[in-house]
Amino acid sequence: MNAGPAGWLGRLRAGLRHTSQTLTGGIAAIFKGRGVDPETVSELEDLLIMADLGPATAARLAEAVGARKFQDSGGGHEVARALAEEIETILSPLARPLAIDAAAKPHVILVVGVNGTGKTTTIGKLAHVFKSQGHSVMVAAGDTFRAAAVEQLRVWAERAGASFFGSENTKDAAAVAFDAVIAARAQGIDVLLIDTAGRLHNKADLMAELEKIIRVIRKVDPSAPQDTLLILDATTGQNAHAQAEVFRDITKVTGLVVTKLDGSAKGGVLVSLADRFGLPVHAIGVGEGLDDLRPFAAGDFARSLLGLEAGAGRAEEAG
C-alpha cells in the first residue's frame, strides 16, 4: 500500500474533521470558565447526541465523564481527552482485523448492505487488502438485480488483481454464489468475496434471497460463509442503526465495515453502532482509492473524533 500510517492517520483526521469540529467547539463552549457539574454534563450529553452518538451512548459517555474528577476544565481540553478515552474503552474490544481461515479454501465472505453504502467498492478494496497480504482472491457478482453492479465489480476485481466470477446466464443470485464457491474451491482460492443485492423496499424478498444463498453455499461447505460483513455508510447517521437491525434479523452478521467517513459530519455514529450492537468493526473507509480502507484502530479513531493528536494521554484525574 502506498500510504503509510502517518498518511492514513492524516486522512482519517481530515475525514472526521466535520465531526471533531462540532465536538471540540461544543466542548470548549460548554466548559469555558465552568467546571464539570450536572448542568455541564447535561449539555455535554446533548452535544454528543447532536454529533450522532445516539441517546443511549451519549448518556453513557456523559455519565462516565461526569464521574471523573478534573484538576481544571482548561476550556474543556481535559474533558475532550477524557471523552476520547471513554470512547476508546467502548471501541477497543470491537476493533478486530478480519482473520482469514487458511484451512477453509476458500474462506467465504458474504457482503451485505443496502444499495448506495459502497458495498461493491468495499469488496474491491478488501480484495486489494487480502491480495497485499499474499492471499489469492476471487470476487463473485451476486448482486444480479443491478447490471451496473456486475460491471462495477468486474472493474474493481481487475484493479485489485483478483479473479472475477459472474454469470450472464442467470439472475439467480444463489446459483451464482453456489457456482462461485465450486470454482474457488477447484482453483484453490484463499478468499471468496460474494456481493449481494441490497434492496430494502421488499424485506421479505431480500431475506428469502440471502437465506437461499447461505443454504446453497453450505451444500458445498457446511461452515460457509465464514464471515458475513455488513457495510454501513457513515453519512446516513442514525439510519445506519435501522439497517443494522434489518440485516441482523435477516442473516447472522459477524462484523461491520463503515464507509464514507470522509466528509461526514456524522462520524460519531460508529461509536453508537459499536456500543449498541457489539459487533466487531473490521475496517473503515475514508476515500475512494484502493488504499482508502484500513483496519479499524480504536485509539486513533477516538482521538481523531475529538481533534486530539495521536497518542494524546489519559486525562489527569485528581483524588
pLDDT tens column, 19-44 = 899 899 999 999 988 889 999 999 99
Of the candidate ranges 21-25, 93-97, 243-247, 258-262, the one whose mean pLDDT is the lowest: 258-262
pTM for the model stands at 0.90
Could you give the dihedral angle defined by the CA atoms of residues 140, 297, 256 and 289, in that order, rounded to the nearest 10 degrees? -40
CATH code for the part of the protein at 107-297? 3.40.50.300
Residue pair 95/300 in contact (Cβ under 8 Å)? The answer is no
**Domain boundaries defined on the chain:** 5-94, 107-297
The pLDDT of residue 4: 52
Q: Is the pLDDT of residue 316 over 50?
A: no
pLDDT of 190 above 80: yes
Cβ density class 22-44: b for 16+ within 10 Å, e for less = bbbebbbebbeeeebeeebbebb
Mean pLDDT, the chain, as a whole number?
A: 88
Q: Does domain 5-94 have CATH number 1.20.120?
A: yes
- The CA distance from 252 to 106, in Å, is 19
Adjacent-strand bridge partners of 111: 195, 229
Q: What's the pLDDT band for 154 if we cut at 50, 70, 90?
A: very high
| Predicted local distance difference test score (pLDDT) of residue 264 | 59
Predicted confidence (pLDDT) per residue in 117-152, tens digit = 889 999 999 999 999 999 999 999 999 888 788 899
> Cell 466487531 appears where?
280
What strands, in cross-sheet order, belong to the sheet with 293-295?
Answer: 163-165, 137-140, 191-195, 107-112, 227-233, 255-259, 281-285, 293-295
Q: What percent of the chain has pLDDT over 90?
A: 61
